[in-house]
Amino acid sequence: MKSRRDGIFILCIVFIAAVLAGCGAAEQRPALERIEYTNLNDSGSRELLQELLSDAGVSDGRIQGFFRRVDHFNDSVKQEWLTDGFEEAELLYTKYDPYAMQDEWTAKNGTFPGYNCRITAMNLFGDFLSVSADSQINAGEDVLFVDEETLKTDPDALGGSSLADFRALYSSMKAEDTTEIKRHVQTVQEEWASRGVTFRENERIRLITVFFHDKPTEEESLLFVGHVGVLLTAEDGTLYFVEKVAFQEPYRMLRFADRTALSDYLMGKYDTSWGQDTASPFIMENDKFMDGWRPNTDGGAYADLVPSGGVDEYCKSFRKHQPKG
């Protein structure tokens, strides 16, 4: 009996390590409930971001192009929908109704869709990304088709990076039909390498990419970039995440103490599926699995296996899922 209990305990530990690969350092603390963010609508947060980007080595042309597009968006929507400096809020709270904001944007910009997370991140991070000259990817009916509509209107939005580079970084990837995140991380790394995508190491600026797993048909299994932003590290170690929430939603800069808090924010927004036969969203930092990642325990793909009670409850749940005998 003792050896059987020991075996179950060992299996439990192995199971936790497999599912929560990379989050061993994410101590069993409560999930993030509140965020601190700014929509860059005030001089103080803009000066801070300007300094962070400059210190990281982002070119002045890319920085100024970014702020022009921030101003374009902020001038197109009601000011009460935006922050006044850094503000605190619940994780998923917004000061605006996204449909009303969409209508406001369209009233002033017509059919122009605006800019999204992928375009924004490429503009800010392009100096630290290289793609081999022979990388040719035709996006076709990919997730990038609206992005490319924007880029036809404003090709300068990539800050000097090419459309070929944009496609190489963001086009969807064929993937195994598995829920194992470790296998999907390997697929991303191998596919980026085959496309000639390389990242220049710089501790002050990193690309944070949220990959989603999708099965559009019984025969197809794909990975695609569902969200992306730029992570900046201040001299005191504070982390700042810069993102464009969506085409017709605001720019944001969020402040985090560590990568686990950043993971909680992103997974709280995007790891929201129940009972799916696809993998949970996962986060890459440049071309590596982000340290500190952990799934959303409040309703994500692993919610039934990762109770909020922590490891003990996790092990109890694991034993319940084991076959009898």
Claim to verify: residue 6 and residue 140 sit in the same structural domain: no
Say yes or no to pLDDT of 318 above 90: no
Residue 26 located in a structural domain: no
Chain-centre distance of CA 27, in angstroms? 21
Sequence-distant (≥ 6) Cβ neighbours of residue 166 within 8 angstroms: 118, 119, 122, 144, 147, 151, 158
Residue 309 is predicted with a pLDDT of 36
Average pLDDT over residues 237-260: 97
Claim to verify: residue 66 and residue 207 sit in the same structural domain: yes
Residue 25 located in a structural domain: no
Chain-centre distance of CA 101, in angstroms? 22
Say yes or no to pLDDT of 283 above 60: yes
Q: Residue 230's pLDDT band (boundaries 50, 70, 90)? A: very high
Say yes or no to pLDDT of 19 above 80: no
Claim to verify: residue 243 and residue 312 sit in the same structural domain: no
Residue 136 is predicted with a pLDDT of 67
Claim to verify: residue 126 and residue 169 sit in the same structural domain: yes
Average pLDDT over residues 277-293: 96
Sequence-distant (≥ 6) Cβ neighbours of residue 308 within 8 angstroms: 30, 31, 297, 298
Claim to verify: residue 123 and residue 163 sit in the same structural domain: yes
Could you read off the pLDDT of 157-200 as tens digits, one per residue? 999 999 999 999 999 999 999 999 999 999 999 999 999 999 99
Q: Residue 272's pLDDT band (boundaries 50, 70, 90)? A: confident
Claim to verify: residue 11 and residue 64 sit in the same structural domain: no
Residue 29 located in a structural domain: no
3-class state of residue 50 by DSSP: helix
Residue 162 is predicted with a pLDDT of 94
Say yes or no to pLDDT of 61 above 80: yes
Domain assignment of residue 10, given as a range: 1-20+307-325
Claim to verify: residue 160 and residue 265 sit in the same structural domain: yes
**295 and 267 Cβ atoms separated by less than 8 Å:** yes
Sequence letter at residue 93: Y
Instruction: Check residue 258 and give left, alpha or beta (phi > 0: left; psi -120 to 50: alpha).
Output: beta
Residue 314 is predicted with a pLDDT of 33
**31 and 268 Cβ atoms separated by less than 8 Å:** yes
Q: Which among 205, 235, 229, 185 has a CA at the least distance from the CA of 22?
A: 185
Claim to verify: residue 78 and residue 203 sit in the same structural domain: yes
Claim to verify: residue 283 and residue 318 sit in the same structural domain: no
Could you read off the pLDDT of 126-145 as tens digits, one per residue? 999 999 866 667 554 578 99
Claim to verify: residue 9 and residue 86 sit in the same structural domain: no
